[in-house]
């Protein structure tokens, strides 16, 4: 199955100034480069907004935008069915709205969710024991 990538992982992976940059990079790169990630259609907007709000240069925004539009990301529409599932996830797992969209997509696809968000991982695991959440791989000795 194609894993779902949380936007915050990608943002941290491409931003060296981000506190969790190394962990995010390891997590992002733990999935083979020739394989795609599933992402909801709001992923591109979420990534660009996070970088733009930090004042990242236009050159970085352009490069990231091109990368996000590339074959590494399989964009899934945020349609009525996904929003209904996300609403159920919000009620059950008590997640934030965007987190619920990523969680619902992963649950629908029976795929792993790659995230660094400990709260998301904990709440999702408690509410949906069948959910697979992947966090940063350990640092090699």
Q: Any idea which of 2-11, 13-22, 67-76, 80-89 has the lowest mean pLDDT?
A: 13-22
Q: What is the value of pTM for the model shown? A: 0.92
138 neighbors 30 (Cβ within 8 angstroms): no
β-strands 112-114, 132-134 pairing: parallel
Domain boundaries defined on the chain: 4-134
What is 4-134's CATH number?
3.40.50.1010
- For 120-135, the pLDDT digits (tens) are 999 999 999 999 999 8
- For 32-88, the pLDDT digits (tens) are 888 999 999 999 999 999 999 989 999 999 999 999 999 999 999 999 999 999 999
Residue 65 CA to residue 24 CA, distance in Å, equals 18
CB count within 10 Å of CB 128 equals: 17
pLDDT > 60? residue 141: no
Of the candidates 100, 70, 71, the residue with the CA atom closest to the CA atom of residue 83? 100
- For 83-121, the pLDDT digits (tens) are 999 999 999 999 999 999 999 999 999 999 999 999 999
Residue 103 CA to residue 6 CA, distance in Å, equals 9
């Amino acid at each position: 199955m194609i894993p779902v990538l949380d936007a915050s992982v990608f943002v941290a992976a491409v931003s060296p100034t981000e506190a969790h940059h190394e962990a995010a990079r390891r997590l992002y790169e733990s999935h083979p480069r020739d394989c795609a990630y599933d992402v909801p259609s709001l992923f591109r907007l979420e990534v660009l907004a996070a970088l733009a709000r930090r004042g990242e240069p236009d050159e970085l925004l352009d490069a990231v935008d091109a990368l996000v539009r590339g074959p590494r990301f399989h964009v899934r529409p945020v349609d009525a069915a996904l929003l209904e599932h996300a609403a159920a996830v919000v009620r059950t797992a008590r997640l934030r709205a965007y987190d619920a969209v990523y969680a619902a997509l992963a649950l629908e696809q029976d795929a792993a969710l790659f995230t660094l968000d400990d709260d998301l991982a904990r709440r999702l695991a408690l509410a949906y024991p069948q959910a697979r959440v992947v966090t940063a791989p350990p640092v090699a000795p």
